[in-house]
Amino acid sequence: MRVGVLALQGDVREHERMLARCGAESVAVKKPDQLEHVQGLIIPGGESTTIGKLIESYGFVDAIRERHGRGMAVYGTCAGLILIARETVEFTGQPLLGLMDIVARRNAFGRQVDSFEADLRVPVLGPGPFRGVFIRAPWIESTGPDVETLSTRDGRVIMARQGNLLATAFHPELTEDERVHRFFLEEVAGTHGKRETCPDIQSGVRSSTRRARPTPSAARSSLA
């Protein structure tokens, strides 16, 4: 499976490293026409205002919306979560992709001195805790009816899924734990490629298939 990492600004390399470890091919996406050649797109951590301005300058807003409309899965981490959101709590005028029916609150957990790491409970990843790294992190203030909450912290939604869209407020790419990326590749993007190179996939991600979830097409049609 070939997955793009939006490479305008942010921690692109860390996502590419994770994808490689999962046996997926990664492409650093710098131009909109590259979206044709990927089945999924990761919008990395970075500064959401900066990435927002750059996606607007280079015609990515319509291109990503259009390509997502034709089935491309999208995963946003931190800044990426903000960019795929329908809106943010504070009006900043920054361009948003508006793919996912969530409202994001920027820097919700505070400034850098409040940045933290903590063990999270993420049932879809299996019983073991997931080390969440939160850096000036947002949270999801509210979710639409088709959005499935996958993890919370202190009552705040920090991981959610809507069809073939995935969002995390934290940075799995800064850890050595591949389970979120495998979940994106295997479940959210909807293909089960390269299983032979991911031997430990049985333990965590695949157990989540027992839970019913909306199909990608159903979720997409619910978005205006």
Partner 1 sequence: MTETGTLRVKTGLAEMLKGGVIMDVTNVEQAKIAEEAGAVAVMALERVPADIRAAGGVARVADPTVIEEIVKVVTIPVMAKARIGHFVEAQILEALGVDYVDESEVLTPADEENHIDKWAFKVPFVCGARNLGEALRRIGEGAAMIRTKGEAGTGNVVEAVRHMRAITGEIRRLSGMRDDELMTAAKELAAPFELVREVARTGALPVVNFSAGGLATPADAALMMQLGADGVFVGSGIFKSDDPPARAKAIVQATTHYEDPKLLAEVSRKLGDPMHGLEISEIPKEQLIQYR
| Closer Cβ to partner 1, 57 or 191, answer by number | 57
| Closer Cβ to partner 1, 112 or 145, answer by number | 112
| Closer Cβ to partner 1, 114 or 203, answer by number | 114
Distance in Å, CB of 46 to partner 1, minimum: 5
> What span, in angstroms and rounded, lies between the C-alpha atoms of 198 and 121?
22
**Does 115 contact partner 1 by CB under 8 A?**
yes
Active site residue 198: no
Ranges within 139-158 binding partner 1 (CB under 8 A):
none
Asked if residue 77 lies in contact with residue 49, where contact means CB atoms within 8 angstroms, the answer is no
> What span, in angstroms and rounded, lies between the C-alpha atoms of 215 and 224?
17
**Does 32 contact partner 1 by CB under 8 A?**
no
**Does 49 contact partner 1 by CB under 8 A?**
yes
* DSSP letter string, 57-124: HTTHHHHHHHHHHTT-EEEEETHHHHHHEEEESS---------EEEEEETTTT-SGGG-EEEEE--GG
Residue 155: alpha-carbon gap to chain centroid: 20
Choosing from 17, 21, 53, 192, the residue that interacts with partner 1 (CB under 8 A) is 53
Distance in Å, CB of 3 to partner 1, minimum: 19
First to last CA, the chain: 28
HEC secondary structure over 108-177: CCCCHHHCEEEEECCHHHCCCCEEEEECCCCEEEEECCCCEEEEEECCEEEEEEECCEEEECCCHHHCCC
Choosing from 3, 4, 5, 10, the residue that interacts with partner 1 (CB under 8 A) is 10
Which residues have C-beta within 8 Å of that of residue 167, sequence separation ≥ 6? 75, 76, 77, 80, 81, 84, 85, 100, 102, 140, 159, 160, 161
Catalytic pick among 16, 173, 178, 187: 173
| Closer Cβ to partner 1, 25 or 118, answer by number | 118
Choosing from 27, 32, 89, 107, the residue that interacts with partner 1 (CB under 8 A) is 107
Distance in Å, CB of 109 to partner 1, minimum: 10
Distance in Å, CB of 50 to partner 1, minimum: 5
- Candidates 35-43, 110-118, 183-191, 193-201; binding stretch for partner 1 (CB under 8 A): 110-118
Residues in touch with partner 1 (CB under 8 A): 7-14, 30, 45-47, 49-50, 53-54, 57, 78-79, 90, 92, 106-107, 111-119, 133-136, 171, 174
Query: Which residues participate in catalysis according to the annotation?
Result: 78, 171, 173
